[in-house]
Amino acid sequence: MNVLLIMTDEQDGRRMGCMGWPKVHTPNLDALAQRGVIFENTYCDSPLCVPSRASFVTGRRVSEIHCWDNASPFDDAWQTWGHRLEDQGVHVQTFGKLDFVRPCGDHGFARDFQPCYRDHGDIFGLMRNPVRQRTGAQARRDRAGPKQNSTQYDDAVQQETLEWLRSDRPKDSEPWLLWASYVKPHFPHFAPPEFYDLYNADEVELPPISEEHLENLNRLNKDLRYHFEVEELPDRDTWVRNIIGYHALISYIDHNVGELLQTLGDEGLADDTLIVFCSDHGEMLGAHGMWWKCAPYEPSVRTPLIMAGPGIEPGQRVSTPVDNVDLFPTLVEATGCQLTEVDATLPGESLLPLAGGKSDSHRDYAFSQYHGHGVSSGWFALRRRDYKYIHYQGYGAELYNLADDPEEMHDLSGLVEHQQRMTDFDALLHELVDPAQVDADAKADQAARLEWIRHNMPKEQFDNKLAGE
Ligand SMILES: [Ca+2]
């Protein structure tokens, strides 16, 4: 079986029509979900581009592969599912964003187009004590709105992907995996007018945020608000332009998905191709007074996951929490390949049994963590059934019931009736990682990397980076 893997950047998995967010126009994704299975509670391993993608391709937690931030080079001591597939005769082709920091060696994705490498990466992730403010971040928020030619990178990815499907794909019996990887709906929230105009400013609802709520945010979340220069809430007009711009970019992606599916059908490939739609992390979009990602809250860590194709029962909705690390064994199995001996320690499990409606024995929790720019220590989050537990290393914990409180406004961690649940979550966290050790490992690696960059980058360039260039 072939696989068409469609990945977006910064897409909150809840903002689609098929996830009950009817004011977001996603007709093609809604139809895809109807044809297959939607995983309603999907989490990324770490809500930031480079670490999330390194985790996605290796199938391993960022705390295991030591990929903490947007300046962490990809360590090719870890093999990827790209290696597994290529080694076993599957032709792997990527178009669009991979996002590896050099030197990245052999990452297993040799046939690429516009893969987005970083030479030194973002040094703000290496300076966490004290957290530094990133100047200019607020300005990029405040400029959102309709704009011509705002999706040129993705337009090129789309044209190359369609061309490959029509003309350039292997024409013999060799199976293939095609990875179309878009940078939208990542900010800036400029969107083509034809998609922006789908939305009405009067209908946009802003999240409720009180001064008291902002005052009571955890120290690490306050760090992020300071780092991103968004401690002042935007006026309604600015906020609305960002929300519409973001939704319009999701609609733009949806349009691209429609073209891909149409082309699969036209080429007679629909019956032998598994479609997987996913993203690397979400976008806060002003919830809790926070923007972009890096936060432990749902808009930042929840991602979309839809699968459709051979063997997938149509119309299924899976509520079991799943992780993007589950996609490594899923993609290997879907292409008829085998995991190898070193994969025995992968944390993920194939999603095909769940997707085929055949098993509910999947791990019953999802895990996310963050150790990059804007936080003075790391955080770890666990989702199990209706509950979400957040451990802020050195700064306490929070507990939310997402069924009753999807916006995570009411922290239950101090209530007597939840103390056993807090103890159980803490025990599960310590089964997975030693949080203090992981935090120390991240900071040691970051200090060493900063010194390396300081000695290998021209001083003027280094100073400019510090100035927020
Ligand atoms: Ca990203």
CA of 235 to the centre of ligand 1 (A): 26
The Å distance, Cα 49 to ligand 1 centre, comes to 4
Mean pLDDT of 286-304: 97
Spacing, Cα 46 to ligand 1 middle (Å): 10
Question: pLDDT, tens digit, for every residue of 337-376?
Answer: 999 999 999 999 999 999 987 777 899 999 999 999 999 9
* Ligand 1 geometric centre to CA of 280 (Å): 6
Q: pLDDT confidence of 468, banded at 50, 70, 90?
A: low
- Distance from the CA of 10 to the center of ligand 1, in angstroms? 5
Q: Distance, CA 450 to ligand 1 centroid (Å)? A: 22
* Phi, psi for residue 367 in degrees, rounded to 5: -135, 140
Interior/surface letters 106-124, b for 16+ CB within 10 angstroms, e for the rest: ebbbeebbbbbebebbbbb
H or E segment to which residue 169 belongs: none
User: Does residue 183 register a pLDDT over 60?
Assistant: yes
Residue 469 in this model has a pLDDT that exceeds 60 = no
Pairing relationship of beta strands 176-181 and 397-401 according to DSSP bridges: unpaired
Q: What is the pLDDT of residues 77-129, one digit of tens each?
A: 999 999 999 999 999 999 999 999 998 889 999 999 999 999 889 999 999 99
- Which candidate, 312, 418, 305, places its Cα nearest to that of 366? 305
Q: Residue 105 contacts by C-beta under 8 Å, 6 or more apart in sequence?
A: 74, 75, 76
The per-residue pLDDT for 259 is 98
Give the distance (Å) from ligand 1 centre to CA of residue 369.
15
b/e burial code for range 303-326 (CB count within 10 A of at least 16 → b): bbbbbbbeebeeebebebbbbbbb
- Read off φ and ψ for residue 105, nearest 5 degrees: 60, -145
The percent of the chain in helix, strand and coil, each rounded to the nearest 5, is 40, 15, 45
Tens digit of each residue's pLDDT (9 = 90 or more) over 14-60:
999 999 998 999 999 999 999 999 999 999 999 999 999 999 999 99
What are the structural domains of the chain? 2-357 (3.40.720.10)
Residue 230 has pLDDT above 60, yes or no: yes
Distance CA 446, CA 465 (A): 16
Give residue-wise pLDDT tens across range 438-458.
999 999 999 999 999 999 888
Cα 281 to middle of ligand 1, angstroms: 6
State the burial class of residue 91 (Cβ atoms within 10 Å of its Cβ: 0-12, 13-18, 19+). Answer: middle
Q: What is the pLDDT of residue 309?
A: 96
What distance in Å separates the CA atoms of residue 349 and residue 308, rounded to the nearest whole number?
18
| Per-residue pLDDT at 208 | 87
CA of 366 to the centre of ligand 1 (A): 19
Spatial contact of 154 and 192, defined as CB atoms under 8 Å apart: no
Q: What is the pLDDT of residues 376-406, one digit of tens each?
A: 999 999 999 999 999 999 999 999 999 999 9
SS3 of 95, please? strand
Q: Which residues pair with 144 in a beta bridge?
A: none
**Is the Cα dihedral 80, 83, 89, 94 positive or negative?**
positive
Residue 216 DSSP label: T
pLDDT tier for residue 76 given thresholds of 50, 70 and 90 = very high
C-alpha 131 to ligand 1 mean position (Å)? 21
CA of 83 to the centre of ligand 1 (A): 23
For the chain, give the mean pLDDT. Answer: 95
